[in-house]
Every structure is written in structure tokens, then in C-alpha cells.
């Protein structure tokens, strides 16, 4: 079956389908010393990125004035309690067009068909951070999507593969905290062994197939091999975490939690994210909101679909319904910041002090399918906050949003001077002294 798929790929080799079929959330290499956050004098940095696929109505998100004394527009009012802990940005984007399709690249800035020439294809900022974390946590990253029926992802590997997100709260809770008995453990171990065997077979057959290929197909097949090696590494790392105890938490999720409306599920995603950071189960999380589901998401006063409302045509009634959804997203992010601020680190600081929490979208104005001047807020993480920062266009190009991502990655601990389309770190955005 694998070789047949390679023959089909002579004209268009697609390396993702096989790898995605192996399963998404694999574990990571454990830290061999005592892996306890309480024993770390200086708390590690964390990155959390929330992406809302349909953007935010621009006039309700971007303040009119810059600096510290701006008036909060409608959608930023839920963040007022954290005014000194976040920065709102204007004028940043990825210099992309493409409407809804470009929203998938919010965290990378590079569409898959434009990634040639970049060292790591269109790797997303969360996955770049996850590479740096490596085996220090059970999960190098958690990729989540609150929508149950979509196939989108915000997270991309260095080889241009999407990370399949976890959409089930039940599964997420199980991954983080549920203890596995011997039967489940053996099933997990067998599953990892099976995946390893499949990869061995794929490599063997692909090596034979490589003979006689032209340059273009050989290059694509080499990319495939690189992706296989990525999964091999994750499988090996997973095996070493099988016998490591999961943390105990005083938190439970409702029965049939995945059947709840988005309005009721979204807070639970944020709760589990805060606990995952607090227990050092991961230091990198992305969360996507791609839809409301099949109904209205449980929102009172919303009678139309999310996508339909995003193309409001300046109809006041549609904008009013859309504002209910958009205000909810910002309110839940604000609630998440509150939870991080309540959690104390061993050195007396708060979890928010060490967590860079990003909220935004790869879509600025869904009504006009615009991807320019993206809505972006960054909170916490040790930066100087409390302002609305506006970055003017230089000619026909905006200041790259990847400049902000480079600043975040450097703050995270990476020693690099470029990230994807960045032209440098973000001017005027500095860490606290």
C-alpha cells in the first residue's frame, strides 16, 4: 500500500497523509533529573497561542489612540483588569492575501506553497518553541482545537506538516492526568511498537523506490524521509514516558463533556491549559477556535452561523450577533489570564509572569477577506506591557508579525536572529528589567 502511494506521488508526492494517519499527540523524552517545577529556582518560560479563525471586527478591536492612555474598544473591555499585563498591536501581519485560507498560517506566516527557501519550511512559532523544550516536559507542546468537526490546524512542523490537534476534552484530560492501568499501558506500548514497525517498513520500501527517481521526485522523497524521522523520534521519546507518573490534580471534567456546546466547553479547555502549565506537563500550547459547531454554540442571541455572521455586510444586526461571539472569545482569554495570575510560582512570581499568552487571528476583517493589520494581543511573559503599539507600513509592506514571534522566541530562551519572514525583533517592545 505504501509503495503504491509512492507511485501515485510521482506526479504529486504528498507526504502528510501517511504520517497524519499514525496519530497526532505523541509524548516526549523525559528529563532524567528530577522533573519537578518546584525545584527550579527560576520558573521556565511558557508560550500559549490562541487563534480565532474568523478574526475580529477591526473597529471593535483596534484602539483609536496609541500609547498607554487609549480607550478600550468594545472587544478589549474584558481585558481591562489586566491593562498593565498586556499589549495590543496594530499594523502587524504576514503580508499575505488569501482570506480564510491564510488564517491557517497565523502562527507561521508562510503558506505551504511559499515555504521553499526557508530553513524550516513554514514551522509555527509554537512548534519552534517545542523543539527548544524537547524532553523537559511530558509533552513538548499541546495542539488543541475547540471545534469538533474541522480539519484546520494552526501548528506546523519544520517539514511543513500540520500537527493534528486534540479536539476532545475527555482525551486531553486523559492525556494529562488520568492514570493508566497495566492493560492500558500494554495497549499503548503495543501501539507504539506497531507504529515503529510501520515506519521501518515505509523506510525500507521507500529506499528501494528511490532508485531511478528524477531530481524533483528525489527531493520530495527526501522531505518524506525527514518527516518519517520526526515521527521515529517522537515514538522513541513516547516509550520513555510510559512509566512516568502523571500529576495529581483536584480537578474533574463533566460527564459527556464533549457533547457540550462551545460556550460550555471553551472555559474547560482554558482550565486544562492552565493546569497543564502549572504541573509542567507542557510549556507550549496552541488553541484554535475554528467554528461554533453545528449549532449556534450555545450563545443566547446568536441565530446565524459564525461564518455567515463574519460576512456581515455592515448589517448592524449581524454585527451585534457577531460581537456576542467575539466578546466571548476575549472574555475567556481574560479569564485564562486571571487563572494564570492566581497561580504562584516557587519564586513568588505568578504563572502569568512567565507565560507569553497570545490572542489573535490570521484574519483581520472576514467581511472583506482581509489578512492585513491583524488583531493581536500579547500578555504576560516578562515584557513591558500596558500600551497600544501601532507599526506603520513601510511602502507596500507591513511590519512582519514574525518580528513579534522572534521577540517571543528569544524571550523563551532561543538564540536566533531570524524566524520565518521576520526582519528582526519587534522595535520598541522590550522585556522588563
What's the pLDDT at 234?
63
What's the pLDDT at 116?
82
Tell me what the mean pLDDT of segment 246-265 comes to: 94
Per-residue pLDDT reduced to its tens digit, 31-76: 333 344 555 578 999 999 999 999 999 999 999 999 999 999 999 9
What's the pLDDT at 78?
98
Per-residue pLDDT reduced to its tens digit, 60-116: 999 999 999 999 999 999 999 999 999 999 999 999 988 888 999 999 999 988 888
- Please name which of 397, 366, 420, 403 lies closest in space to residue 101, comparing C-alpha atoms: 366
Q: Which one is predicted more confidently, 203 or 67?
A: 67
What's the pLDDT at 236?
61
Question: CA 403 to CA 96: how far, in whole Å?
Answer: 15
What's the pLDDT at 229?
59
Per-residue pLDDT reduced to its tens digit, 168-180: 999 999 999 987 6
What's the pLDDT at 219?
58
Q: Say which CATH architecture domain 31-179+247-412 belongs to.
A: 3-Layer(aba) Sandwich (3.40)
Question: CA 35 to CA 318: how far, in whole Å?
Answer: 50
Residue with cell 527560576: 42
- For the chain, the domains span 1-26+182-244, 31-179+247-412
Question: CA 10 to CA 201: how far, in whole Å?
Answer: 19
What's the pLDDT at 143?
96
Burial of residue 42, with CB atoms counted within 10 A of its CB: 0-12 exposed, 13-18 middle, 19 or more buried: exposed
With b for 16 or more beta-carbon neighbours within 10 A and e for fewer, the 321-342 pattern comes to bbbebbbbbbbbbbbbbebbbe
Confidence at 159, pLDDT banded by 50, 70, 90: confident
What's the pLDDT at 16?
40
Look at the chain and count its residues. Answer: 433
pLDDT over 70 (residue 410): yes
pLDDT over 90 (residue 406): yes
Question: CA 164 to CA 153: how far, in whole Å?
Answer: 7
Q: Which one is predicted more confidently, 359 or 185?
A: 359
Residue 115 CA neighbour count, 13 Å, CB half: 21
Tell me what the mean pLDDT of segment 189-217 comes to: 61
Question: CA 304 to CA 325: how far, in whole Å?
Answer: 11
Which stretch of 56-70, 112-126, 230-244, 264-278 has the lowest confidence by average pLDDT? 230-244
Confidence at 7, pLDDT banded by 50, 70, 90: very low
What's the pLDDT at 414?
97
Which stretch of 203-212, 350-359, 370-379, 420-429 has the lowest confidence by average pLDDT? 203-212
What's the pLDDT at 214?
62
Per-residue pLDDT reduced to its tens digit, 11-37: 433 444 433 433 333 333 333 333 445
Q: Which one is predicted more confidently, 243 or 423?
A: 423
Q: Which one is predicted more confidently, 41 or 161?
A: 161
Q: Which one is predicted more confidently, 299 or 118?
A: 299
Q: What is the DSSP letter of 105?
A: G
Confidence at 2, pLDDT banded by 50, 70, 90: very low
Per-residue pLDDT reduced to its tens digit, 275-307: 999 999 999 999 999 887 767 889 999 988 888
- The pairing of strands 86-90 and 399-400 is unpaired
- pTM: predicted TM-score of the whole model, two decimal places: 0.82
- What lies within 8 Å, CB to CB, of 276 at 6+ separation is 139, 142, 176, 282, 285
pLDDT over 60 (residue 5): no
Amino acid at each position: 500500500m505504501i509503495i503504491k502511494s509512492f507511485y501515485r506521488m510521482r506526479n504529486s508526492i504528498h507526504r502528510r497523509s501517511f504520517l497524519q494517519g499514525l496519530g497526532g499527540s505523541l509524548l516526549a523524552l523525559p528529563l532524567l533529573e528530577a522533573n519537578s517545577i518546584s525545584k527550579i529556582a527560576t520558573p521556565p518560560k511558557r508560550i500559549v497561542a490562541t487563534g480565532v479563525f474568523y478574526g475580529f471586527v477591526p473597529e471593535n478591536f483596534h484602539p483609536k489612540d496609541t500609547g498607554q492612555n487609549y480607550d478600550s474598544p468594545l472587544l478589549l473591555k474584558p481585558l481591562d483588569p489586566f491593562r498593565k499585563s498586556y499589549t495590543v498591536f496594530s499594523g502587524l501581519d504576514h503580508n499575505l492575501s488569501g482570506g480564510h485560507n491564510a488564517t491557517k498560517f497565523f502562527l507561521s506566516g508562510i503558506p505551504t506553497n511559499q515555504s521553499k527557501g526557508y530553513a524550516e519550511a513554514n514551522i509555527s512559532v509554537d512548534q519552534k518553541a517545542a523543539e527548544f523544550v524537547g524532553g523537559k516536559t511530558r509533552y513538548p507542546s499541546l495542539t488543541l482545537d475547540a471545534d469538533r468537526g474541522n480539519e484546520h490546524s494552526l501548528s506546523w512542523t519544520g517539514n511543513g506538516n500540520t500537527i493534528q490537534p486534540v479536539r476532545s476534552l475527555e482525551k486531553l484530560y486523559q492525556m494529562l492526568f488520568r492514570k493508566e492501568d497495566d492493560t492500558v499501558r500494554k495497549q499503548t506500548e503495543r501501539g507504539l511498537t506497531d507504529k515503529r514497525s510501520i515506519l521501518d517498513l515505509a523506510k525500507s520500501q521507500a529506499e528501494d523506490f528511490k532508485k531511478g527517481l528524477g531530481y524533483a521526485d528525489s527531493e520530495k522523497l527526501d522531505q518524506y524521509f525527514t518527516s518519517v524521522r520526526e515521527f521515529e523520534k517522537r515514538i522513541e521519546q513516547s516509550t520513555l514516558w510510559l512509566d512516568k507518573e502523571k500529576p495529581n490534580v483536584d480537578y474533574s471534567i463533566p460527564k459527556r463533556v464533549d457533547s457540550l456546546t462551545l460556550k460550555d466547553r471553551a472555559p474547560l479547555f482554558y482550565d486544562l491549559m492552565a493546569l497543564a502549565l502549572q504541573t509542567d506537563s507542557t510549556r507550549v500550547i496552541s488553541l484554535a477556535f475554528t467554528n461554533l459547531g453545528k449549532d449556534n454554540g450555545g450563545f443566547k442571541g446568536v441565530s446565524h452561523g459564525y461564518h455567515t455572521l463574519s460576512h456581515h455586510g455592515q448589517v448592524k444586526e449581524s454585527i451585534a450577533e457577531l460581537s456576542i461571539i467575539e466578546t466571548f472569545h476575549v472574555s475567556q482569554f481574560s479569564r485564562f489570564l486571571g487563572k494564570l495570575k492566581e497561580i504562584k510560582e516557587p519564586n513568588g512570581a505568578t504563572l502569568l509572569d512567565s507565560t507569553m499568552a497570545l490572542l489573535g487571528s490570521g484574519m483581520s476583517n472576514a467581511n472583506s477577506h482581509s489578512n492585513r493589520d491583524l488583531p493581536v494581543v500579547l500578555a504576560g511573559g516578562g515584557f513591558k506591557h500596558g500600551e497600544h503599539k501601532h507599526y506603520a507600513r513601510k511602502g507596500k509592506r507591513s511590519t512582519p508579525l514574525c518580528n513579534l514571534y522572534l521577540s517571543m522566541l528569544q524571550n523563551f530562551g532561543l538564540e536566533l536572529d531570524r524566524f520565518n519572514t521576520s526582519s528582526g525583533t519587534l522595535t520598541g517592545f522590550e522585556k522588563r528589567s
